[in-house]
Amino acid sequence: MYKLIRPLLFKLDPEVAHHLTLQLVRLAGIIPPSRWLLQAMFNGPQKPVEAFGLKFKNPIGLAAGYDKDGEAVPGLAALGFGHLELGTVTPRPQPGNPKPRVFRLVDDEGVINRMGFPGRGAAYVARQVRRSAPIGKPRSVIIGMNLGKNKDTALENAVEDYLSLIRDFSALADYLAINISSPNTAGLRKLQGREMLETLLGAVAKERAACDARPPILVKIAPDLSDEELEDAIAVILATGMDGVIAANTTLSREGLRSRSQAESGGLSGRPLTGLSDAVLSKVVKLVAGQVPVVGVGGVSNPEDARRKLDLGATLVQVYTGMIYAGPGLVKDILTGG
């Protein structure tokens, strides 16, 4: 079915198409018969896995960026994911970068985006998350919250944005992810440097300890770090007691691209990221040496890509751009082995 719909979607502006599909999934999740239909069509076998003290019904999750404001949780959960990582959420609403800011690289099965964390802010997202899981009713899916700083927050004040978000979401999300690796917020990746990262994660650890709820905290890193930068980042992540690593975010590399949009600025995702993300994942797994789980993300377009990440040592795998090209059946295909 998706093969018939995709050409129509691809005639739309990528961001318009994304908004349309997200709203359709949101509506389908609200109406019980349509939600049950999605579950019947797209839920694969359960393959339980434990990580960060949480129990996931399967290892396949949705990467941050798809549902930035947490508006479509029931519908997305019906597609069979073991977890949904919402956001990136910022403390205050912000429009993000000027449009156009999303570009399909159809010949490469990739996407370049320079969104810049657009969203309605923490208060709005918190309301959506509460609404998706009424008090007394268990969630059908693990919820992660990807946290980022506002664009107009000076880098030296970024810690306060992250601490504010931890206070907002520590009792609402099953885990939190510290996003310091998006290439689309000026200066953000500097937070991955050893000194700034020690300051940030040290403060994050203290803030979590002061919260009544103490969710696992993961750190999402860039795939473009040098070996020395990667070693420093992992050392700080482990020393500050973080619970896991997400490897990796989008890349600034443009190696091997054929599409006309390859010159656009922003982060590259999809199939062109596969080799780089696998290489970074392998390095991270060796560096953490079993001390914390690792989430593999980047370039997962088919069951073989997901299996390879698990074989490389990932405990969980996330997808996003792969669904744009393969459709919502990708999760089930992965779980059933294609």
Domain of residue 58 covers: 2-336
Task: Give the domain CATH number at 255.
Answer: 3.20.20.70
Q: Is the pLDDT of residue 337 over 90?
A: no
pLDDT bracket for residue 253 (50, 70, 90): very high
Concatenated DSSP letters of 3-35: HHHHHHHTTS-HHHHHHHHHHHHHHHHHSHHHH
Query: Which pLDDT score, from 0 to 100, does residue 304 have?
Result: 98
Residue-wise pLDDT for 150-163, tens only, equals 999 999 999 999 99
Mean predicted lDDT score pLDDT of the chain: 96
**Residue 182 among the catalytic residues:** yes
Question: pTM surpassing 0.95?
Answer: yes
**CA dihedral of 122, 127, 131, 134, whole degrees rounded to 10:** 100
Q: Is there a contact between 221 and 182 (Cβ–Cβ < 8 Å)?
A: no
Q: Is there a contact between 264 and 97 (Cβ–Cβ < 8 Å)?
A: no
**CA-closest candidate to residue 211, choices 274, 176, 166:** 166
pLDDT, mean of residues 18-31 = 97
Query: Which pLDDT score, from 0 to 100, does residue 139 have?
Result: 82
CA distance 219 to 233: 10
List alpha helices for the chain, DSSP H. 2-9, 14-30, 32-42, 73-77, 122-132, 158-169, 194-210, 227-239, 274-288, 303-311, 321-326, 330-336
Residue-wise pLDDT for 275-323, tens only, equals 999 999 999 999 999 999 999 999 999 999 999 999 999 999 999 999 9
Q: Quick check: helix, strand or coil at residue 179?
A: strand
pLDDT bracket for residue 3 (50, 70, 90): confident
Residue-wise pLDDT for 74-120, tens only, equals 999 999 999 999 999 999 999 999 999 999 999 999 999 999 999 99
Beta bridge partners of 179: 220
Among candidate residues 132, 164, 182, 259, the one labeled active-site is: 182
Query: Which pLDDT score, from 0 to 100, does residue 124 have?
Result: 98
Report DSSP state, residue 178. Answer: E
Cβ neighbours of residue 282 closer than 8 Å, sequence gap 6 or more: 312, 313
Residue-wise pLDDT for 194-232, tens only, equals 999 999 999 999 999 999 999 999 999 999 999 999 999
Tell me the one-letter amino acid at 139.
Answer: R
Report DSSP state, residue 301. Answer: -
* β-strand pairing of 267-270 with 110-113: antiparallel
CA distance 237 to 233: 6
CA distance 29 to 175: 22
Report DSSP state, residue 68. Answer: T
Domain count, the chain: 1
Q: Is there a contact between 137 and 82 (Cβ–Cβ < 8 Å)?
A: no
Q: What CA–CA distances, in Å, run from 334 to 63, 108, 306, 327?
A: 15, 21, 7, 12
Q: Is the pLDDT of residue 136 over 60?
A: no
Query: Which pLDDT score, from 0 to 100, does residue 137 have?
Result: 60
**CA-closest candidate to residue 124, choices 145, 153, 101, 102:** 145
Q: How far is CA 301 from the centre of its chain?
A: 15
For 213-244, the three-class secondary structure string (H helix, E strand, C coil) is CCCCEEEEECCCCCHHHHHHHHHHHHHCCCCE
Residue-wise pLDDT for 6-15, tens only, equals 999 999 999 9
Q: Is there a contact between 101 and 113 (Cβ–Cβ < 8 Å)?
A: yes
